[in-house]
Amino acid sequence: MYIRPTEPRPIGGVLDDAVRLYRASFSRCWVLALIGGALSGALGVYATLHMGALTAARGATSLAGLAAAMARLQSVEHTPGLWLSDLLSALVWLVVRAALIARQNAVASGEDDTLGSALGFALRRLPGMIGAAIVWGVAVVVGFCLLFIPGIWLWGQLQLWLVALVAEDSGAMQSLARSWTLVERNWWRASVTIGVAGIIIWVLSLVVGVLAGVGLVFFRSDPAMVLLFTQAITMVAGVFTMPMLTVALVAMYHDLRLRRDGGDLAARVSTLKKQA
């Protein structure tokens, strides 16, 4: 049984808490991660087949076939079909991750929930998530255009917006403001914690890349099989990796709430005592 910390913890403690929450919530999250991976993989396969990349590469050697496929994709990267596929993938990303956060936050809060309720909540809040994502994206892109460093700083300041939106059922701008308030004066703590989770996911992605290379050897005469094999491996790996980043965000959110809201509460209590 998972027990949420009642006082702020150092970075190592937050990471340990994230691991414990991951273990406690995995049984609630793996189906969601599988659904997200399957939908994203299907969209990727559809987009590739729709653009005719594999048709152009058929009959060539594996490396030449894949090179032809990439060239074909680059030639049609601005077509409506590809834009639609990218848009649907982004929406799947938002809904699945919001549902994952909802389930992980329910475990952290000792609440009962269901797969249907988590998905229903994410779908109902999709317009707000889209609005917040657009504002976040514009702010970060503008920051990166301003000598890069402001973009990194803004990314860190606003990285908890999705958790705030789900956990507090807040609006788009309120969730962004809440992330800013929580991360303020804790930028390095939050960024290092989430960065460690990102490095773990990156290492696992390298393993997936190696396995995809194995598929290239076995199916080198059939680029379509290489694509399907790679998507299958990515989907299976996503069952384990997709909840990792969200659980780190949830653990960091609750730690910063203890630091921020707990500190504000202590200050109010102290003020009341002085007035008394």
The mean pLDDT value for 224-238 works out to 78
Q: What is the pLDDT of residue 146?
A: 85
240 C-beta neighbours (distance < 10 Å), count: 15
C-alpha distances out from residue 48 to 37, 60, 223, 226, 232, Å:
16, 17, 11, 12, 15
How deeply is 179 buried, as exposed, middle or buried, from its count of CB atoms within 10 A (0-12, 13-18, 19+)? buried
253 C-beta neighbours (distance < 10 Å), count: 26
CA dihedral sign, ordered 198, 201, 207, 209: negative
The span from the CA of 259 to the CA of 261, in Å, is: 6
| Side chain identity at residue 187, one-letter code | W
Q: What is the pLDDT of residue 221?
A: 59
Tell whether the model's pLDDT for residue 199 goes beyond 80.
Answer: yes
Burial 78-88 (b: 16+ CB within 10 A, else e): eeeebeebeeb
The encoded tokens of residue 114 equal: 């269901």
Q: What is the pLDDT of residue 34?
A: 93
The span from the CA of 205 to the CA of 195, in Å, is: 15
% of residues, the chain, pLDDT over 70:
77
pLDDT per residue as tens digits for the range 90-142: 899 999 999 999 999 999 999 999 999 999 999 999 999 999 999 999 999 99
Mean pLDDT lowest for which of 197-201, 210-214, 225-229, 260-264? 260-264
CA dihedral sign, ordered 266, 267, 268, 273: positive
pLDDT per residue as tens digits for the range 100-111: 999 999 999 999
Question: Rounded to 10 degrees, what is the CA torsion of 64, 65, 70, 73?
Answer: 140
Q: What is the pLDDT of residue 240?
A: 92
Crossing angle of the two packed helices 80-108 and 223-275, in degrees rounded to 10: 40
Q: What is the pLDDT of residue 67?
A: 62
Tell whether the model's pLDDT for residue 212 goes beyond 50.
Answer: yes
What is the pLDDT of the chain when averaged over all its residues? 83
DSSP code, position 145 = H
Q: What is the pLDDT of residue 117?
A: 95
Question: Rounded to 10 degrees, what is the CA torsion of 116, 120, 126, 128?
Answer: -120
Helix (H, G, I), strand (E, B) or coil at 223: helix
Q: What is the pLDDT of residue 267?
A: 43
Contacts of residue 67, Cβ cutoff 8 Å, sequence gap at least 6: 57
Q: State the pTM of this model.
A: 0.83
How deeply is 187 buried, as exposed, middle or buried, from its count of CB atoms within 10 A (0-12, 13-18, 19+)? middle
Mean pLDDT lowest for which of 119-123, 194-198, 205-209? 205-209
